[in-house]
Chain A
Amino acid sequence: MDGPGDDSTQGVGLQLPERVLAEMVAHCLASFPDEGCGLLAGDPAEASAVRCYPTRNAAGSARLYTVDPLDHLRADRDAEASGLSILGVFHSHTHTDPYPSPTDVAQAPDPTWHYVLVSLRDEVPSVRSYRIVRGEVTEEPVELVG
């Protein structure tokens, strides 16, 4: 665990409306065999991802993703216009566990973000959420809300 005073890893986890979960998984399935990716937005005071922004994978790869920068800009503007902020990013691992890879950890840009992984390895997709602070990965609970 992180030391005292590091509030960014504290908290109750990520709240995910079932509609957002469905949009996220649908986008990852539609992107297959490439990794699918997108951004999650919500009220920054509450760790609730009320909006899903599917984005293009600019890397166009089954093993890498890059959120298309212009899609990121549009999502950021749309969220801001709705009084929301980008809270995190999701992407799929098509053949591996839903756990951040060394690449994911090395490139995680924001310690306040939620990093959501969608694994398509098994028949039923599995979804996990993590905080990544200074290279330290901590899984957080995902609470599905109606």
Chain B
Amino acid sequence: MTVDGATVGEVLQALESTHPGLAGQVLTADGSLHRFVNVYLNDDDVRYLERLDTKVSDGDVVSILPAVAGGAS
């Protein structure tokens, strides 16, 4: 889907208005990125950019994926 926003944080806010509850899945109570969610700007993890302040441009793709983990222990 296509939404407007100048930063990753603004894109997530715009998605929250069309998908209520989404922000609560992605962000913690203090408004930072949840550790069990990975957010990408194109091919880059925004944690290694400027997190929610990462600038987005026209045509950029923001992907939100759950961290998938587990194991026998």
Contacts and interface: CB of A to CB of B under 8 A. Distances in A.
Interface of A: 35, 37, 39, 59, 61, 63-67, 69-70, 72-73, 76-77, 89, 91, 93-96, 100-101, 103-104, 107-110
Contacts of A95: 72
Nearest to A35: B71
Contact of B69 (A66, A94, A96): A66
In this complex, which of B65, B69, B70 has the most chain A Cβ atoms within 10 angstroms of its Cβ?
Answer: B70
A69 B45 CA distance: 9
Contacts of A101: 70-73
16 contacts: A35-B71, A37-B68, A59-B69, A61-B71, A64-B72, A65-B70, A65-B71, A66-B67, A69-B40, A69-B65, A91-B70, A91-B71, A100-B70, A101-B70, A104-B71, A107-B70
Which secondary structure dominates where chain A touches chain B? mixed
Contacts of B32: none
Given A72-B38, A73-B43, A73-B63, A67 B72 contact: no
A80 B20 CA distance: 23
Interface in B34-73: 36, 38, 40, 43, 45, 63, 65-73
A64 B70 contact: yes
Contacts of B63: 73, 76-77
A39 B40 CA distance: 18
Contacts of B69: 59, 64-67, 107
